[in-house]
Amino acid sequence: MNLVLDVGNTLVKVGVFENQQLIHFEQIKPQKISNILTKYSPKHILISDVRGIAQEFLSPLASQFSILFLTHQTSLPVQNLYKTPQTLGTDRIAGAIGAYFSEPSQNHLILDAGTCLTYDFIDKYGKYYGGNISLGLQMRFQALAHFTGKLPEIPFSSNSNTPEIPLIGQTTESAILSGVVNGMMEEIEGILKNYGQKFGDFQVTICGGDAKFLAKQIKAPIFASPNLVLFGLHQILLHNLKNSH
């Protein structure tokens, strides 16, 4: 049994794998990390930590488990063409690897719709190129309120029953809703078009907290994979275990 942790900007995603199958998934607060390890007693652990906070919660148990932290120096099962690998978010490369191993015969563009909206491209030869970093959905609403004197912050949740997004907002609230959501859709559609012109055909996969909502809005064929990063982390773990023998 292996366990992978994706320590994000808000929560920690936990994936428990057995025979390459994800048998358990949950989201926890960082303070609960040690409890998870004690509960499952996994043989091997890989941690992607974009916040750099996991170590403090693991210190009491570090000697009891085989723990690997994913860094830019960790061996990868793909070729990383990013020019500054030390600045590349480990969740981004993990998502790309997860997509690649799900369908190795295709090019992939991965959208991770969380705090930020990221785009990452990996081709069918296992070459990771990099991508784009943009504002996430909630960040866009928050920025309008934060950087202006009178615009309100719209209480928007992609996980609830959302109203129809108008093309023309006829109140300040609906104008913000229209501008943020439609603007984000235009951004995504434009980037998909540009990548298509450069690379030809590719599979689009979306993950992250706003994935389901955005997948319904995007016109292009798109595959939602909520646990894509966890699958990628497990492939990296298996790759390193194989190389260690």
pLDDT tens across 88-109, in order?
A: 999 999 999 999 999 999 999 9
The confidence band for 60, taking pLDDT boundaries of 50, 70 and 90, is low
Structure tokens at 182: 């439609």
Cα–Cα distances in angstroms (integers) from residue 173 to residues 74, 142, 170, 178, 180, in the given order: 46, 13, 8, 9, 11
Residue 201 is a catalytic residue = no
Write down all domains in the chain, each with its CATH number in brackets. 2-91+227-244 (3.30.420.40), 92-226 (3.30.420.40)
pLDDT tens across 193-240, in order?
A: 999 999 999 999 999 889 989 998 888 889 999 899 999 999 999 999
pLDDT at 147 over 70: yes
Q: Which of 6, 91, 123, 210 is catalytic?
A: 91
The mean pLDDT value of the chain amounts to 91
The confidence band for 35, taking pLDDT boundaries of 50, 70 and 90, is confident
Q: Indicate the residue type of 232.
A: G
Q: Indicate the residue type of 29.
A: K
User: Given this model, what pLDDT does residue 106 score?
Assistant: 95
C-alpha 111/C-alpha 23 separation (Å) is 24
C-alpha 166/C-alpha 170 separation (Å) is 9
Q: How many CA atoms lie within 13 A of 29 on its CB side?
A: 1
Give 12 or 96, the one with higher predicted confidence.
96
